[in-house]
A and B are shown apart, each in its own frame.
Chain A
């Protein structure tokens, strides 16, 4: 009996040891489910070969990504060893202890943040903002940009009509006003027997859609979050005359130049509207541009891209993410090994070639980069002028307030732009008071 008991105990111990060892040889990387994530799966095969660590992936569709991942972090979950989290999460990730601080690791392994584009380091890695405290490695540069039907723009009859109406050639817009005029020009026009519309823009209510869309106009018109960075003095910045003009502009764009029923649209709907030949122009994240260019129906020589046009300011809404090590991981060493591998210039070059947007200077400063893809030059230009939403730990409350105020004004026709932005200051003030920052 004793022998049997001993044998059983030994088997159980061996099984447990085996499980633990298997666990330390695996990593789970969490991200949103979209085109670049598929590219990362392919890229990570090199890491698996080199390290012997098996990579698992947990990709969540964008509309549920924040909910799912923030719940995971807040509950101290061990699902993710590595997380490519949205830039706005960095404050909460750092302050609430979800992300591992990477300074010592970077120093010990010769990883320098000077090797990455400054805007991406600032946006994706640092907390408090701009300080040399790093909680992520810039992984995926991104911004909100535009694409359009180059083949429609090139048609002589359309060119002639446009010139007759606006007195200039139909070309990529250089200002927000030009963008609006082009979108209105195409609205309701018949092309190849099909009624088409001006532009597909972001109007989604539930997560972050309308905020990401409207800020593309707001930033260009001169909207600011604070008068003095870090002081939370929003009066006169958030509701400035320029900000009001920017919001009124976005509403006009929505009301006069988008397809019918376009009242709750985000990334997918924008892509669908363009790919189905409904719209002349569309806004979306640069991350989708490689896939759009490769589309057999509306890609190739039928499509071209442009950076978000300025009005008073040349600015684009920031997207993109850094890659962080989750503090609750039981394989932090393996996760750091992945970061070290991913930071290498050769890996970053391959990342760009596969459809990921590298933030490494070895890629971006390469003389051939701008010509390496039809949207590469626009990407560089966009990243030079990106602006991001609040990255505060309370970003979710701040974002939901903006979603509500903007959707109420732009889509549901409630109140004025001035009232919407005044109300937004009231909401944000309440959040910052609750946070003890005001």
Chain B
């Protein structure tokens, strides 16, 4: 059997081989990495720097011929002193924290239950993960029907269970329920994702650890809190990181469900940003808005990743 390295060397055209003969390993490594670095710079870093630059101007992308003025920190000051934007941030925080809370609790519980061996386990797992395979546009549309006061299933069930007339309240309308309605839909869709990651964590715990705990006469309750939870925690934290980043920029599903309404009750920061950037065409202002959101999510994610690493080191 021929040596693969020799085979590769002999397959290299002579002209190329002659040219790279004098290059060091480091240079060759750079040659291979260079295209990726170039693409990263072109697609990620340059737009980021450009956005920072635009955020200090009054540039409007729909007026290419208009004079672009340097406005200093005006866009940042306007955003940070705008009560409406702080209200949107609070709405985003409400959505983020409650979806994470419910998804962690339900996702972990489902994973813990499904980790047991029983008949139909695989089928049940497949059924549970179905919602996360759907498009957010589809989910948004059919939950709009489910929430419809006159024909929707949700109001009907509430009427049957509590006796409250179905058409007397609107899950997506005024009355304070809309904020919770979007949390419910996101939880329904993404709890299976958290469950899958937790399930991977649970299945990575070797049986002998539980056997040793049994020998030490540790109760099931104690095994759960001192073995299961700590060993699944890094997985759970990873799931929270993924979902946190995703939900911070949540857009499509909420737009389809409520359009940010009623009023501004479900107007998440990402929806507001899109309106500023691509409907009002305030490019400079929205660049500043985007930078503030980026710094927020980047800062929070960095702190979180440090905490995650500490948990993993334990």
Chain A residues with CB under 8 Å of chain B are: 66-67, 70-71, 73-74, 92, 96-97, 204-206, 259-261, 263-264, 393-394, 396-397, 400, 404, 407-409, 411-414, 434
Q: Which of B10-18, B22-30, B165-173, B296-304 forms contacts with chain A?
A: B165-173
- Chain B's closest residue to A195 (CB) is B167
B90 located at the interface, meaning its Cβ lies under 8 Å from any Cβ of chain A in the complex: no
Query: Which chain A positions have C-beta within 8 A of B265?
Result: 412
Q: How far is the CA of A309 from the CA of B280 in the complex (A)?
A: 33
Binary contact track B262-283/A, C-beta < 8 Å → 1, others 0: 1111000000000100111110
B174 located at the interface, meaning its Cβ lies under 8 Å from any Cβ of chain A in the complex: yes
B259 located at the interface, meaning its Cβ lies under 8 Å from any Cβ of chain A in the complex: yes
Can you name 12 A-B residue pairings with CB atoms under 8 Å? A71-B278, A74-B281, A205-B259, A206-B255, A206-B259, A259-B150, A260-B149, A263-B172, A263-B174, A264-B261, A400-B279, A407-B264
Closest 8 CB pairs of A and B: A412-B263, A206-B259, A261-B149, A205-B261, A408-B263, A263-B173, A260-B167, A412-B262
- Chain B's closest residue to A95 (CB) is B63
- Given contacts A411-B174, A411-B262, 4 further A-B pairs with CB under 8 A are A67-B279, A204-B259, A206-B260, A412-B261
Query: Which chain B positions have C-beta within 8 A of A261?
Result: 147-150, 152, 167, 170, 172-173
Interface centre among B150, B258, B260, B261 (most CB of A within 10 A): B261
Using A96-B63, A263-B170 as known contacts, say yes or no to A396 and B261 having CB atoms under 8 A apart: no
Query: Which chain A positions have C-beta within 8 A of B281?
Result: 74, 396-397
Asked if B62 contacts A96 (CB within 8 A), the reply is: yes
- Chain B's closest residue to A406 (CB) is B263
Interface centre among A96, A260, A396 (most CB of B within 10 A): A260
B58 located at the interface, meaning its Cβ lies under 8 Å from any Cβ of chain A in the complex: yes
B65 located at the interface, meaning its Cβ lies under 8 Å from any Cβ of chain A in the complex: yes
Query: Which chain B positions have C-beta within 8 A of A411?
Result: 173-174, 261-263
Query: Which chain B positions have C-beta within 8 A of A204?
Result: 259
Asked if A414 contacts B263 (CB within 8 A), the reply is: yes
Asked if B278 contacts A67 (CB within 8 A), the reply is: yes
B245 located at the interface, meaning its Cβ lies under 8 Å from any Cβ of chain A in the complex: no
Q: How far is the CA of A118 from the CA of B281 in the complex (A)?
A: 32
Asked if A97 contacts B65 (CB within 8 A), the reply is: yes
Chain B residues with CB under 8 Å of chain A are: 58, 61-63, 65, 147-150, 152, 167-168, 170, 172-174, 255, 258-265, 275, 278-282
Main secondary structure of the interface of B (DSSP, over half): loop
Cross-chain contact of A74 among B62, B152, B174, B261 (Cβ < 8 A)? B62
Query: Which chain B positions have C-beta within 8 A of A394?
Result: 280
Q: How far is the CA of A404 from the CA of B260 in the complex (A)?
A: 10
Asked if B279 contacts A396 (CB within 8 A), the reply is: yes
Asked if A404 contacts B264 (CB within 8 A), the reply is: yes
Q: How far is the CA of A434 from the CA of B152 in the complex (A)?
A: 45
Q: How far is the CA of A260 from the CA of B147 in the complex (A)?
A: 11
Asked if A264 contacts B279 (CB within 8 A), the reply is: no
Query: Which chain A positions have C-beta within 8 A of B150?
Result: 259-261
Using A67-B279, A206-B255 as known contacts, say yes or no to A260 and B260 having CB atoms under 8 A apart: no
Asked if B262 contacts A260 (CB within 8 A), the reply is: no
- Chain A's closest residue to B61 (CB) is A74
Query: Which chain B positions have C-beta within 8 A of A414?
Result: 263
Shortest beta-carbon distance from B281 to chain A in Å: 7
Query: Which chain A positions have C-beta within 8 A of B172?
Result: 261, 263-264
- Chain A's closest residue to B263 (CB) is A412
Asked if B167 contacts A407 (CB within 8 A), the reply is: no
Using A261-B167, A261-B170, A411-B173 as known contacts, say yes or no to A92 and B62 having CB atoms under 8 A apart: yes
Q: How far is the CA of A400 from the CA of B275 in the complex (A)?
A: 8
Q: How far is the CA of A97 from the CA of B63 in the complex (A)?
A: 9
Q: How far is the CA of A164 from the CA of B167 in the complex (A)?
A: 28
Using A260-B168, A261-B167, A261-B172 as known contacts, say yes or no to A205 and B279 having CB atoms under 8 A apart: no
